Amino acid sequence: MHRQPENVDVVTFLLSEMGTSGSLDGQQHLVVKGRFASKYIEGILHKYVICGCCKSPDTILTNGNHLFFLICEQCGSGHFVVPIKAGFVASWTVFGVNGDWGFESTVEETENHLSHASTHHGIYDLQVREDDDWQMVQKQGNQFVVNDQPFYVNGFNTYWLMVFAADQSTRGKVSELFHQASSAGLTVCRTWAFNDGQWRALQTSPSVYDEEVFKVLLLLNSHASKALDFVISEAKKYKIRLILSLTNNWDAYGGKAQYVKWGKAAGLNLTSDDEFFSHTTLKSYYKAHVKTVLNRVNTFTNLTYKNDPTIFAWELMNEPRCTSDPSGDTLQEMAVYVKSIDAKHLVEIGLEGFYGPSAPDRAKFNPNSYATQVGTDFIRNHQTLGVDFASVHIYADSWISQTISDAHLQFTKSWMEAHIEDAEKYLRMPVLFTEFGVSAKDTGYNTSFRDTLISSVYKTLLNSTKKGGSGAGSLLWQLFPDGTDYMNDGYAIVLSKSPSTSNIISLHSTRIATFNSLCSTKCKWGCKKKNPLEEFLYHDDL
């Protein structure tokens, strides 16, 4: 086969194509789970080994972010093979002429390790895409883009990364998590860039920072590392971008309640946590924190945070609510302030997505009547100057019932479709479903329902993106590495212990990555007739 047994690409390709799990035993035999006919396995090996042009077995296989490239050493041609599931593989041929390369199909873009095709003597030259193409995520209309390519998101949440990075005994879990997430094709992580006045606090009092968090004493090449610096640097190693949230609506990790406590300690006459949004002094505390974080220089990369492409976006607040002002007006100031410091990065508010007074006809999509009274307004708030994209959370089990039922799936679909429609018609921006999940503590919970819910979210997003819609992606709440069960709030997914869920996530990642690689922002999903991966992208097997 011209393959080394220890080559992880061999095992990865076969297991991905067969849709099963397995490992090498002590004699380097691949042992797989399940029953498979010998002809079926021979068919996979034929795709995996035989050149599609000259039929020679003298080929080598390379792997880049879920796309495998088969190169023939006899005739110089090659083709991509994308493992999808048992019995199906998408591929297209690339031919070689006098050392140049070109596509037989209409494909104009390949994967990250192969770049744009430039016309040359009637064929295409493939350029190697260097690491300096790690550019800022931007917004064009209702799409995210990187280097003028669409950037649809399959991501996850892990809020506690900075806190774990602040302790040498737990820091390795940050790297472990990013490695597992990257292996599943996840490209964006949302995490906290705050910890106010709590255990391992970043900000111990207004504008006073604990250097044991911002500056953790860890000997690494004789340099002291910084906790949040470490998280950002590790994320870049695994090609994962970060959405960094700047404070919390809830008491966990301090949040607005801690800012009010600091205000009271300074002698302010404060009567409600909602004064966080309106009191001049408290707003100055928040602005000082924003300024400190955005202007920080990462000691690993020497990049100022506001200049680092690893950061996908700034989130003003996790799930802001201001019940004392149901209009939602009090939430409309800070985006402009962030942009005044950092005009390069995207900004989002952090809303859960509840409809408010500006769109009474949309209140029917809210999970309950109380949602209209929490002081947020999905449409009005997202029309604020400085806000680049909309955020929505999905928690049917918290908002409707903690007993699992099909009503959760029905709500999730209608909730997502309503927000995608509004993002297109009224906001004209992408919408990212930045939290969704289901708790193992719910009555009637099982992993099968969790898989169904995740698949439903992914399918709804694909239905939007195939039409060039505003559904820009989703982030699971939440992903954990092994050995962190004590942090589990019921929603944690450990990929190594959840093979069926992991397969669903990986499949969606591959679909999104393939589309991102093949189309430019000038191209909408309407060009799918030209796309050799159409069946792969649209096939309804979720």
Classify burial at 309, counting beta carbons within 10 Å of its beta carbon; exposed 0-12, middle 13-18, buried 19 or more. middle
Specify whether 319 is catalytic: yes
Tell me the β-bridge partners of 83.
Answer: 89
Helices (H) and strands (E) in the chain, counts: 15, 24
Helix residue spans in 241-382 (DSSP H): 255-265, 280-294, 334-341, 378-382
* List of residues 6+ apart from 182 with CB closer than 8 A: 238, 239, 240
Phi, psi dihedral angles at 60 (to 5 degrees): -125, 155
* List of residues 6+ apart from 282 with CB closer than 8 A: 259, 260, 262, 263, 268, 270, 275, 276
Question: Of residues 275, 315, 424, 435, which has the active-site annotation?
Answer: 435
Cα 199 to Cα 356: distance, rounded to the nearest angstrom: 36
Phi-psi region of 19 (alpha: psi -120 to 50; beta: other; left: phi over 0): left
Tell me the β-bridge partners of 346.
Answer: 313
DSSP output for 445-506: --HHHHHHHHHHHHHHHHHHHTTT-SEEEEEEE-B--TT-GGG--S--B-GGG-HHHHHHHH
Give the sheet arrangement for strand 149-150, strand by strand: 138-140, 143-146, 149-150
Query: Is residue 314 helix, strand or coil?
Result: strand
Question: Of residues 319, 348, 352, 424, which has the active-site annotation?
Answer: 319
Residue type at position 443: T
For residue 389, which of 186, 145, 182 has the smallest C-alpha distance? Answer: 145
For residue 457, which of 441, 480, 477, 439 has the smallest C-alpha distance? Answer: 477
Specify whether 534 is catalytic: no
Cα 342 to Cα 336: distance, rounded to the nearest angstrom: 10
* Sheet strands (E) in 112-264: 117-120, 123-126, 138-140, 143-146, 149-150, 153-157, 188-192, 203-205, 208-209, 216-220, 223-225, 241-245
* Chain centroid to CA 327: 31
| DSSP conformation class of 78 | E
| DSSP conformation class of 135 | P
Find out whether 36 and 18 touch, Cβ atoms under 8 Å. Answer: yes
Find out whether 428 and 368 touch, Cβ atoms under 8 Å. Answer: no
Active site residues: 319, 435
